[in-house]
Amino acid sequence: MKTTLIFIISLLIPGSGHLLQKRFKGALLGFAIFTLEALAFMMIMLPFFELFYVRHVTGDYAGTATIGALPYVNNSFTIMVSSVIYFFLLLIFLFIHFVFARDAQSYAKQMKELGYAVDTKTKLLEMQADIVPNLITAPKFIIIFIFTLMPIIVSLLIAFTNYRRPILPPSFLIEWRGLENFSNLITNPQMSSLFTDTLIWTVVWTFSASSLAIAIGVILAVVANGKQIRAKRLFRTIYVLPWAVPAFLTILIFRIFFSRIGAMNTMVIPFFTGQPYEVGTAIGFLMDPMLARVTIISIQAWLGFPYMFALTTGVLQAIPDDLYEAGALDGGNAFTNFIDITLPLIFRSISPVFIAHFIFNFNNVVILYLLAGSVVREIGADFGPLETVASLGFRLMLDARFNEAAVFMLITSAVVGVIAVLMWMRTGAFRNEEVM
């Protein structure tokens, strides 16, 4: 019998290809897989019917597509989450189904070409060096799915609904709204202006804070590791100290430091200007929108540079002195060696970390949440001028405007994801095993 036909038959009914080849244990296992697939399909279809196909022609939900049929009886959010879980369970069973069909095809091919075949048990024993590590790491992927992938998919579904206060299950059914939430970013002037202003500030904030932290960390690492510097361990310890202190404590300290009655106004500025401190003339570093933006970028650079300093220090230790000696023979000096040798090797080695730092600052909510409350808002504005896309999505979620928060996060996350992938592909750090 042709191997392709065996594969097709096994795809239609798991175990049938093994049964035709008189592999009864494999056939029994295939039928068991088929039974589990049928159960999984039944489990997934029930919430799927409630998720997509319930339409009300009378009552409060006339002419709308809802998740669930009856309020208080069907919890729309529970149906949504369970549908995602059942869908992935079905994908797992379908993958096992496919692998089982390939096993039947492989057995038939070996029998046709060689006259004998290695049984599945022997194959597994031969592949145990590959199977065991995958089994050990499997819990990690399960945790990633539960805490990362599943929330993303649920957020994707929420973006196409009206899930927000007061439409909260189980007292209300969530309705499907299609692209209405996305079109509001264009047709609704308030939402359009909010999204545009927030996105522009997010780009400025991400690029400025990340670039400043990277630049300070790299420069300090190069200077602290110079041959002329004594007590290098002391300097390395001092520069890493801001990283050792919990970030939220540092942020709260800076919040007091830059307040109108903080040390910046009462001690630092009078020391340099020679003018006594007065409450009326104190600078509102965290109250004026422009000053607050500069201040918050500086604070984030302070929080981020120790990590960059530590990474760069490790790279500098691995650069051989022969490169600098060759540069000296070519007439190079300290500046040209830094530009032509040190900097390229640093970026080639840890450029993925730099990209990850940009992504981290883009999604950073803590510092903005703790510091943005003091900034003066425009009259009638619901949100402050320091809100980034991530922090705005967080505040929308706190206000139970889940569909709008999901739309904001999905659009910007897609853009950032594409940019990050393109930057990773261009760096070449993952393609080269030999860095130095």
206-210, 220-224, 225-229, 281-285, range with greatest mean pLDDT: 206-210
Res 435: pLDDT: 43
Which of residues 402 and 39 earns the better pLDDT score? 402
Res 396: pLDDT: 86
Q: Please report which confidence band the pLDDT of residue 436 belongs to, taking 50, 70 and 90 as the band edges.
A: very low
Q: Please report which confidence band the pLDDT of residue 68 belongs to, taking 50, 70 and 90 as the band edges.
A: confident
Residues facing residue 56 across a β-bridge: 62, 64
Do residues 311 and 353 make contact, with C-beta atoms less than 8 angstroms apart?
yes
Residues facing residue 55 across a β-bridge: 65
Res 18: pLDDT: 67
Res 379: pLDDT: 62
The pLDDT tens digits for 245-257 are 888 888 888 888 8
Q: Which two tokens stand for residue 253?
A: 């300290």
Range 213-241 average pLDDT: 82
Do residues 310 and 240 make contact, with C-beta atoms less than 8 angstroms apart?
yes
The pLDDT tens digits for 80-111 are 888 888 778 777 777 877 877 777 777 777 77
Range 41-53 average pLDDT: 60
Task: Give all domains of the chain, ordered by start, each with its CATH number.
Answer: 3-178 (no CATH), 184-427 (1.10.3720.10)
The pLDDT tens digits for 302-347 are 998 988 888 888 888 878 777 777 777 777 677 777 787 888 888 8
Give residues with Cβ within 8 angstroms of 362, minimum separation 6: 202, 206, 388, 389, 390, 412, 416
Measured between its terminal Cα atoms, the distance across the chain in Å is 56
CA distance 327 to 341: 8
CA distance 229 to 220: 12
Contacts within 8 Å (CB) and 24+ apart, 280-289: 284/260, 284/376, 285/258, 285/259, 286/255, 286/258, 286/259, 286/371, 286/374, 286/375, 287/260, 287/374, 287/375, 287/376, 288/375, 288/376, 289/375, 289/376, 289/385, 289/386
Do residues 78 and 169 make contact, with C-beta atoms less than 8 angstroms apart?
yes
Res 347: pLDDT: 80
Q: What is the mean pLDDT of the chain?
A: 78
Angular region, 178: left φ>0, alpha ψ -120 to 50, beta rest: left
Do residues 435 and 190 make contact, with C-beta atoms less than 8 angstroms apart?
no
Which segment of 33-47, 151-165, 285-299 scores lowest on mean pLDDT? 33-47
Give residues with Cβ within 8 angstroms of 281, minimum separation 6: none
Res 124: pLDDT: 53
Q: Please report which confidence band the pLDDT of residue 233 belongs to, taking 50, 70 and 90 as the band edges.
A: confident
Q: Which candidate, 394, 397, 374, places its Cα nearest to that of 386?
A: 374
Residues facing residue 141 across a β-bridge: none
Three-state SS sequence of 215-265: HHHHHHHHHHCCCCCCCHHHHHHHHHHHHHCCHHHHHHHHHHHCCCCCHHH
Do residues 217 and 304 make contact, with C-beta atoms less than 8 angstroms apart?
yes
> What's this model's pTM, rounded to 2 decimal places?
0.74
Would the pLDDT of 25 be above 70? no
The pLDDT tens digits for 113-144 are 666 555 555 555 555 555 666 677 777 777 77
Q: How far is CA 190 from CA 179, 202, 372, 378, 381, in A?
A: 18, 18, 21, 14, 10
